[in-house]
Structure 1
Amino acid sequence: MTEINEFEADVDPLDQTLVPEFGDDIFGYMRELEVKLMPDPNYIERQSALSWATRSILVEWIVQVHQRFNLLPETLYLCINFVDRFLSIRAIKVNKLQLVGAVCLLLAAKYEEMYVPSVKDIEFMVENNYKEAEILLAERYILRMLNFDLGWPGPLSFLRRISKADGYDMSTRTLAKYLIEVTLIDYRFIGVPCSKVAAAAHYLALRFLGKNPWSRAHAFYAGYFESELTPLVVDLIELLLHPRKHRAIYEKYADKRFLCASRYAHEWLKINKPESLIQPDGADRNPETITQSNAENLKEATF
């Protein structure tokens, strides 16, 4: 308890933006929301016209449109959450998938942005395949299907909190953002709480950069022990070994604005053994968890 009090006391009392007295309540509520507003990870079974491959194509397109409009990162994550939640409720034809993606991006922008793309902008980005009236009709319909619950917290809020454990290191956070965005492509992460995705990405970023291991401070701010993150990290490394599957995201983070994060991870994996990233080295590892099977699975994934 003394250690926890020290973590909570490590706040500038003059910084009113941190509101430490409400921090536990705020993040507790966010942890409830991330579960309440989580999509069904098996919804594709009810989508006779869609597959996980078509979803990946849609996500790549949304990433490119999002970048074209220069929108906030939070808008992208919220958009994908809207898409997956809507598809968890309603089966659609493949010729309507782009419309769903475009409208969800518009809704997410309205929720997160100060300056929102116009309906005409969206109409242009879908190459006039859908007209303004159809976009507006779809917007109202999707809102009703989502029950107007738009407040999904997203992974970046949790990443900011975890970053406090290592002094908000820029290189770690930037690499972690790339790793988080990569998870948007893969269906295996749909049913994972965004707080856990953020924690796994931060953990893996630390390992890539050879920085301090997952400490008790990391576990406190993230809410996850190292042992809880290892299976997710294995899936994430497997994704990184095949950058062609997330080309748009890879090219985005290869830019100097993002410290060439994607290129760094790709080059690291070319000259190092991927399984070395999941070898335990933190004090918070659960001793009951056996890591040998995880390492073997990762070795198999590299071939």
Structure 2
Amino acid sequence: MGKAVVGLRRAALGEITNFKAAAVNTKVEQAVRPDYMQHYEITECMRALLLDWLVQVHSRFQLPQETLYLTVAVMDRFLQVQPVSRRKLQLVGVMADFAYITDNAFTKAQILVMEQLILRALNFELGHPFPLHFLRQASKVSNSDVERHTLAKYLMELTLLDYNMVHYRPSEIAAAALALSQLLLVALPWSPQQQHYSTYCMTPPT
């Protein structure tokens, strides 16, 4: 029994260490500029409408939550380096989502061309850390219950639709969502332990 407990403690410490290292590493991850759509033909409102449609696609095909986060990350990273017309915005969303059905809105050739354009613009770097990954580790560190974890997930999903949130790191979004979740549900402030392992501190509003 003693060996089993020691093993569990070591495993937990490994998870925490991995979370801290990953949070630090995302400080140099693929970043999206604030207000990258400035002077673009497409607007913040058009982006929100496209994301609303993508959420419906994910719900219809019961795709994993990670797919939606990757879709949004690929889309924003591409659009900041390759402006497109409003006519092609949905096509970008389709390709970022790797969706199978577009209601015949685009031909196979159009989809293939956009696929090549996106891959080249991103240098074939599609790997991207998700807020979900950081939230899972942060919840373990703080022993968060299901209710706090679920509310934090919902808060993170809201950030996908908000253009003003595109430039925040996944680790920042996860930490902020969990901090707000535990404040709303149990009035629990961000602890020194959470600050240590997430590398983020919560600054009170002025």
**Under a length normalisation based on structure 2, what TM-score does the superposition of the two structures give?**
0.87
Please state if 1:89 is matched with 2:81: yes
Structure 1 residues 79, 224: CA separation in 2 closer, same or farther (over 3 Å shift)?
same
- State the 1:46 CA deviation: 4.2
- Separation (CA, whole Å) in 1 of partners of 2:79 and 2:190: 36
Matched, 1:36 2:51: no
One-letter code of the match for 1:166? S
CA deviations over 1:232-252 (Å, ceiling 9, x no partner): xxxxxxxxxxxxxxxxxxxxx
1:128 deviation in Å?
0.6
List per-residue Cα deviations over 1:165-222 (Å, max 9, x = no partner): 3324111110000000101111111111111111111011111112532212221232
Alpha-carbon contact 2:23-2:199 (below 8 Å) kept: no
1:138 maps to which residue?
A: 114
| 1:103 counterpart residue number | 95
Q: Which amino acid is 1:43 matched to?
A: Y
Matches within 5 A, 1:80-229: 80-106=72-98, 122=100, 124=101, 126-227=102-203
Gaps of 5+ in 2: none
1:74 aligns with 2:50: no
What root-mean-square deviation, in Å, do the aligned CA atoms of Structure 1 and Structure 2 show?
2.4
The 8 Å contact of residues 78 and 122 in structure 2, kept in 1 or not, is answered as yes
Q: Cα 1:148–1:27, aligned 2, differ >3 Å: closer, same or farther?
A: farther
Native 8 Å contact 1:39 1:88 kept in 2: yes
Q: TM-score of the superposition, structure 1-length normalised? A: 0.61
Change (3 A) 1:27 1:105: farther
Partner Cα separation in structure 1 for residue 48 and residue 196 of structure 2:
34
Residue by residue, what CA displacement relative to the aligned partner does 1:78-124 show, whole Å, maximum 9, x if unpaired? 11010001000111110111110011011xxxxxxxxxx6xxxx2x3
Q: CA deviation at 1:26?
A: 6.6
Q: Given the alignment of the two structures, is residue 13 of structure 1 paired with residue 4 of structure 2, yes or no?
A: no
Give, in whole Å, the separation in 1 of the partners of 2:147 and 2:12: 26
Q: More relative contact order in 1 or in 2 (CA 8 Å, sep 6+)? A: 2
CA distance in 1, matches of 2:118, 2:103: 21
| Cα pair distance change 1:203/1:21, threshold 3 Å | closer
Amino acid aligned to 1:155? P
Count of aligned residue pairs for this structure pair: 202
How far apart are the structure 2 equivalents of 1:213 and 1:144?
A: 44
Percent identity, aligned pairs only, is: 37
Matched, 1:52 2:28: no
**Does the Cα contact within 8 Å between 1:161 and 1:221 map onto a contact in 2?**
no
Q: Is residue 23–residue 198 contact of structure 2 (8 Å, CA) maintained in 1? A: no
Residues 31 and 154 of structure 1, relative CA distance in 2, 3 Å threshold: farther
Displacement of 1:146 in angstroms is: 0.8
Aligned to 1:64: 56
In 1: Cα distance, 2:180 partner to 2:132 partner: 15
Asked if structure 1 preserves the Cα contact closer than 8 Å seen for 2:72 and 2:160, the reply is yes
* C-alpha separation in 1, matches of 2:25 and 2:142: 26
Separation in 2, partners of 1:41, 1:151? 21
CA distance in 2, matches of 1:139, 1:95: 16
User: Does the 8 Å contact 2:55/2:68 carry over to 1?
Assistant: yes
